[in-house]
Structure 1
Amino acid sequence: MSEPALRLAVLLAIVFTCLAVIEETMYLAISVFNTPLLALAPIVVVLGFLIYVGRRNLLATHRRFLDGGE
């Protein structure tokens, strides 16, 4: 498999895993623990993680261009 296709597959796996975690945690928070505010916690955590990874990749790409790489 080519490198761009592999990166896309990994990215999609991460996104769908995050969506599954959000869904399961919201189900547990609302139906089991009866606290709807807990449903917001996984959304915040997952969005924070995705923002962190996105910034990290953006900085790495920016550094690569500044260093005269690709």
Structure 2
Amino acid sequence: MVRIVYLNYGFLDMMFIEDEEREAIEQFWGIFGSPDTPRNTGGIRVLDVSQALNEKDLGGYQMGIVAKEVA
């Protein structure tokens, strides 16, 4: 199982997909992506892609908090 942690217009959220990592990322961007917008440049930004034991394995993240990018 793959856990994708992403910012959804500043709110931390997760998606769990029963697939290999590459296919999970493609599925994610199939849902949230747009053909005219490059990945990770709009309101949706992927922060982490990693393995999870199940849907309760949050990997130390707290969903729903507002996060800011610093760079």
TM-score (norm 1): 0.26
Higher relative contact order (CA 8 A, sep 6+): 2
Normalized per residue, which structure has more strand? Answer: 2
Normalized per residue, which structure has more helix? Answer: 1
